[in-house]
Amino acid sequence: MTTLRMKLHAAPAGRRLAIGKALLFIACLLPLARAAWIVLMGEAVNPIEFITRSTGTWTLVWLLATLAMTPLRRFTGQAWPLKCRRMLGLFAFFYASLHFATYVWLDQFFDWQHILKDIAKRPFITIGFAAIVLMSPLALTSTQGWMRRLKRNWGKLHRLVYPVAVLAVLHYWWLVKLDITQPAIYGAVLVLLLGLRLWWRSRKA
């Protein structure tokens, strides 16, 4: 590990960033590999529920990590957190898509009539569905090409990440019902990340 850190420090900035992003890419896939291993080894009592909860949890983790990049940039004075933000956001959407696909395919077996009733009648599913709907245009417009096309509107569109994160936390909170310890932790982190932004904005006013 020490040797790796020394090599990263000695490498040019562009190469260090490329290596760092490659390691981040692998790290983002590790939860999925772990979940697949647990299911394949028969260690999950209820595989469908395990996959659903695992993909949902990691959607939240990568969403909050995405939001953490701007504060990290301000606190460290380094540019690299912003260059990792897009990857983290896309992984959040990737895990959210797996989460939704697990519900539609493995849980509901493409019973669209029942799925639509679930979305309409069960609040935690309603806001979870709303979150992934709002995430979709963010993922689709994450490329440099879309940034050039949308110009200033790109930034306005991507502010949807804030309500998406709020909806994701509420989705988890309303799902667990009884022991809200974990969703409360995610909620506290989200409040901190959004609070920092509001504070910085108020100082500019």
**Rounded to an integer, what is the distance from CA 88 to the centroid of its chain?**
7
Asked, for residue 20, whether it belongs to a domain, the answer is: no
DSSP structural state of residue 159: G
Closest CA to 35 of 17, 20, 47, 23: 47
d(CA 101, CA 59): 13
Asked, for residue 39, whether it belongs to a domain, the answer is: no
Domain that residue 96 falls in:
46-204
pLDDT at position 8 is: 46
DSSP structural state of residue 46: S
List, for residues 142-196, the tens digit of each pLDDT value: 999 999 999 999 999 999 999 999 999 999 999 987 788 999 999 999 999 999 9
Q: What is the dihedral of CA 132, 170, 72, 153, to 10 degrees?
A: 40
What's the average model confidence in pLDDT over 75-89?
Answer: 93
d(CA 68, CA 63): 9
Considering its fold, how many domains does the chain have in total?
1
**Residues sharing a CB contact under 8 Å with residue 114, sequence separation 6 or more, in sequence order:** 108
Closest CA to 140 of 118, 121, 157: 157
Residues of the chain with pLDDT > 70: what percent?
93
Looking at every residue in the chain, the average pLDDT score rounds to 91
Closest CA to 29 of 91, 90, 86: 91
Asked, for residue 170, whether it belongs to a domain, the answer is: yes
List, for residues 108-146, the tens digit of each pLDDT value: 999 999 999 999 999 999 999 999 999 999 999 999 999
- Helix, strand and coil in the chain, % to nearest 5: 85, 0, 15
Contact present, 11 and 19 (Cβ < 8 Å)? yes
Asked, for residue 184, whether it belongs to a domain, the answer is: yes
Asked, for residue 58, whether it belongs to a domain, the answer is: yes
Asked, for residue 139, whether it belongs to a domain, the answer is: yes
Contact present, 52 and 111 (Cβ < 8 Å)? no
The model carries a pTM of 0.90
Asked, for residue 162, whether it belongs to a domain, the answer is: yes
pLDDT at position 11 is: 57
